Chains A and B, each alone.
Chain A
């Protein structure tokens, strides 16, 4: 069976995905998972990863309004920019902000 993973920016050169170089087997069992709340679309995704929450990329569960969207960890607007190359050049309407 195939696997439909997330898209990477075009620059990603690694054709063969990076090997997992973790030596030995980490003892942690699979991370706890949130439960599907909407009509069974997402299969319950991992809890938001604490590092991403501290970095402001994902929302902690306590900041989630009820019954919102699929169960994947909710990205913040900052997190949504992760992985993109945000151009630095000025935009004509910049003086407005």
Chain B
């Protein structure tokens, strides 16, 4: 039944070594949305290998994504959105180094919400913080999904 995820995988190799062997390529984000791409890639690199010791890479992780803002809560009287929800969608595919075989692929989706106020600068900085939180939630989701697939792969 349940066993430690970071123990030996079904194929006998140690999962942390497998995860550390993943090289995260530059992320292709939609134009003008590069900032969340930076935070997503940096968080993913640490999530996959927190040791910081450079080692041989065996897989390549390709990512493409975009984000958009939704405003479910608005004040009709003042015509202003009082909260914003950023929806992030990232398509990821784990391939071997020369990109000839896809090991696993999927689409990671998540959201992060921020409050808005009369002060537009405060709303803008709140949106930036929501982007950073969204990037770390997406990075954690992608890492968990890759770890699950690699740990079960014979």
Contacts and interface: CB of A to CB of B under 8 A. Distances in A.
Question: Is B a genuine binding partner of A?
Answer: yes
Nearest to B87: A65
Shortest 6 CB-CB contacts between residues of A and residues of B: A65-B68, A63-B91, A76-B28, A80-B31, A63-B64, A56-B28
B65 A67 contact: no
A36 interface: no
Contacts of A76: 28-31, 64
Given A65-B68, A68-B66, A75 B31 contact: yes
Nearest to B37: A77
A59 B30 CA distance: 7
B88 interface: yes
The number of chain A residues touching the other chain, given as a range, is 10 to 19
Interface of B: 26, 28-34, 37, 64-68, 70, 87-91, 107
A59 B68 contact: no
Contacts of A59: 28, 30, 64-66
A56 B64 contact: yes
Contacts of B87: 65-66
Contacts of B88: 65
A55 B30 CA distance: 14
A65 B91 contact: no
Contacts of A62: 89, 91, 107
Contact of B64 (A60, A66, A68): A60
B148 to A, nearest CB: 20
Nearest to A64: B66
B107 to A, nearest CB: 5
Contact of B89 (A65, A75, A77): A65
Contacts of B66: 59, 63-65, 68, 74
B130 to A, nearest CB: 14
A82 to B, nearest CB: 11
Nearest to A76: B28
A66 B67 CA distance: 8
28 contacts: A56-B64, A59-B65, A60-B91, A62-B91, A62-B107, A63-B64, A63-B65, A63-B66, A63-B89, A64-B89, A65-B68, A65-B88, A66-B87, A67-B70, A68-B30, A68-B66, A68-B68, A74-B31, A74-B66, A75-B30, A75-B31, A76-B29, A76-B30, A77-B28, A77-B29, A77-B31, A77-B37, A78-B26
